[in-house]
Amino acid sequence: MSGEIEIASAAALHCVLEPHDWAFDRLRGAEIDAHWATRRAAVPSLYDGPVLLAHGVSRGENGTLGVRFFTTRFSRFLAWRDFGFPGGGVHNCFSMPALRSSDGAFLLGEMGADHSAAGAIYFPAGTPDPSDLRDGIVDLEANLLRELEEETGIAAQEVRLSPGWTIVFAGPRVACMRIAQSPLSAAALEERVTAFIAAQNKPELAGVRMAARRADLAEPRMLHFIRRFLEPLLPT
């Protein structure tokens, strides 16, 4: 994606769930349903389950990022994304584990053929959903660790999360990132995750890509905001 990108730090996240009247869904329902039918015809495994989008993102003076989520359906999110994020005031806010090897390389996933973003390259991640709720609070750290294990087989106890969050504001996307430090070398980490993918009946990832130097960021399928996040963290 293109456009302005801002990178900031947050000491903590405060994410709540509340009702929201989303005009895009209310006014364009028939168009959304037709789009969903087309996408399902192409990829029958797509599931129209509940997901969480944000209708308010604010930065507090105490270093906390506040996010107000609402519940919608995946078909609504997908149409909004595919139509170019029409309207204002809504964000796709999600967490991402930046999985780093002991020798400083980052592991990214290539989304599988059944994924709604097939072929794209970015960190293991997924749109938050109601399973990430804890007593009315949306737990993006739990979401981050869940997606990491589901897509790579790397469990929470196998990584050390960096303190605080790096927030990447990229238009309608708000990526909440933490480095997930692995004790494995880049070669061992790639081998481990590749073996996990090969053992799955329906893996979410088609493969992995290791980024050890800035030259590795030239891959055109890598999302632009991922490239911007990684540039200062990698040697030339």
Which pLDDT score is estimated for 115?
A: 83
| pTM for this model (two decimals) | 0.93
pLDDT above 90 covers what percent of the chain? Answer: 89
Which pLDDT score is estimated for 34?
A: 98
- The residue written with tokens 């609070």 in the block is 137
Q: What torsion do the CA atoms of 49, 208, 210, 193 make, to the nearest 10 degrees?
A: 100
pLDDT digits (tens, 9 = 90+) for 95-150: 999 999 999 999 999 998 888 888 999 999 999 999 999 988 999 999 999 999 99
CA dist., res. 29 & res. 155, Å (int): 39
Average confidence (pLDDT) over 73-83: 97
Strands in 50-112 per DSSP E: 50-59, 64-73, 92-100, 106-111
CA dist., res. 23 & res. 30, Å (int): 13
| Max Cα–Cα distance, the chain, nearest Å | 51
CA dist., res. 68 & res. 137, Å (int): 10
Query: Is the per-residue pLDDT at 2 higher than 60?
Result: no
pLDDT category at 3 given cuts 50, 70, 90 is low
pLDDT digits (tens, 9 = 90+) for 145-189: 999 999 999 999 999 999 999 999 999 999 999 999 999 999 999
Mean of pLDDT over the chain? 95
Which pLDDT score is estimated for 53?
A: 98
Q: What domains, with CATH codes, occur in the chain?
A: 8-233 (3.90.79.10)
Which pLDDT score is estimated for 136?
A: 86
pLDDT digits (tens, 9 = 90+) for 32-54: 999 999 999 999 999 999 999 99
